[in-house]
Amino acid sequence: MGTFFCFATFAHMNIHFVLVEPAVPENVGAAARAIKTMGFDSLRLINPCDFLEGKAKWLAHASGEVLNNAGVFTSLAQALSDVDFVIATSAKTRSVRGDHHPAEMLPELLRQKALGIHSAAIVFGREESGLTNAEIGLCHITTYIPMATVYPSLNLGQAVMLYAYLLSKLNFQNKNPNSESSVSKPKFKAMLEQAEDFLKDTKISRNPNIYKRIFERLSLLGDNDINLLMSVLSAIDEK
């Protein structure tokens, strides 16, 4: 029962599943089916294949509305323009990110951020090559699915299903679009902007490696720590 009541806390958050340049229609259909069966409905596609043709619809099976309503974009940046918190998926570690987090930590991380963000996106890369370093650089954290063997790897539809299953436990979809939190500025974004302003024109801002690392760690903060950090930064500014 405790978990059930916990669901109401996350009623305002939207979860988007983003596929970057999917090349196989069946994978898009399988992703749509995974999203629907786990209680989600937002699919965003960047330069996709023909995902409305027969093979994709056959794999989607009773999830046609997810395919039909999928947002289509020409760049990842465009698809993420209205998203507060962005999670990359990658099967291998990248130098562009210092940490590589297991997917199992996402439910707890988003639970801790429930009052500070209005929307989140899970970004999946190309079937053959995944996400580029530049695309991962647009995300706040990078995650992976632990596997017993490197090969054979999971295909795109399977990966989407696993992430959707993990996040379905939080039941974010029962949202109230008229709530105050849906129109106010997300606290998480406000914290990042305040930190950027605080570090502006400092030695840290001129060191891209340290600067990016700081904001990666800030992205892991929960609501309580975000409030604390914003209070500290405000107090320093006042002084």
Query: How far apart are alpha carbons 96 and 126 in whole angstroms?
Result: 18
pLDDT single digits (tens) 154-207: 899 999 999 999 999 886 444 444 444 444 678 888 999 999 888 888 888 888
Which of 118, 143, 168 delimits the end of a domain?
168
Which of 112, 141, 168 delimits the end of a domain?
168
- Is 202 found in the same domain as 162? no
Residue with tokens 């409905």: 41
Is residue 11, in this structure, part of any structural domain at all? yes
Is residue 105, in this structure, part of any structural domain at all? yes
- Is 190 found in the same domain as 164? no
Counting residues of the chain whose pLDDT is more than 90, the rounded percentage is 49
Mean pLDDT of 48-53: 90
Total domains in the fold of the chain: 2
- Is 189 found in the same domain as 122? no
Query: How far apart are alpha carbons 139 and 88 in whole angstroms?
Result: 6
Alpha helix (H) residue ranges in 92-222: 106-112, 133-136, 156-168, 187-199, 208-218
Chain-centre distance of CA 42, in angstroms? 12
pLDDT single digits (tens) 58-101: 888 888 899 999 999 999 999 999 999 999 998 766 555 567 89
- Is 209 found in the same domain as 153? no
- Is 124 found in the same domain as 50? yes
- Is 231 found in the same domain as 143? no
Look up the domain containing 21 and give its range: 2-168
pLDDT for res 5: 31
Is residue 180, in this structure, part of any structural domain at all? no
- Is 60 found in the same domain as 125? yes
pLDDT for res 94: 56
- Is 208 found in the same domain as 103? no
Is residue 176, in this structure, part of any structural domain at all? no
Counting residues of the chain whose pLDDT is more than 70, the rounded percentage is 85
Is residue 164, in this structure, part of any structural domain at all? yes
Mean pLDDT of 231-237: 86
- Is the pLDDT at 31 greater than 50? The verdict is yes
- Is the pLDDT at 23 greater than 50? The verdict is yes
- Is 202 found in the same domain as 111? no
- Is 206 found in the same domain as 154? no
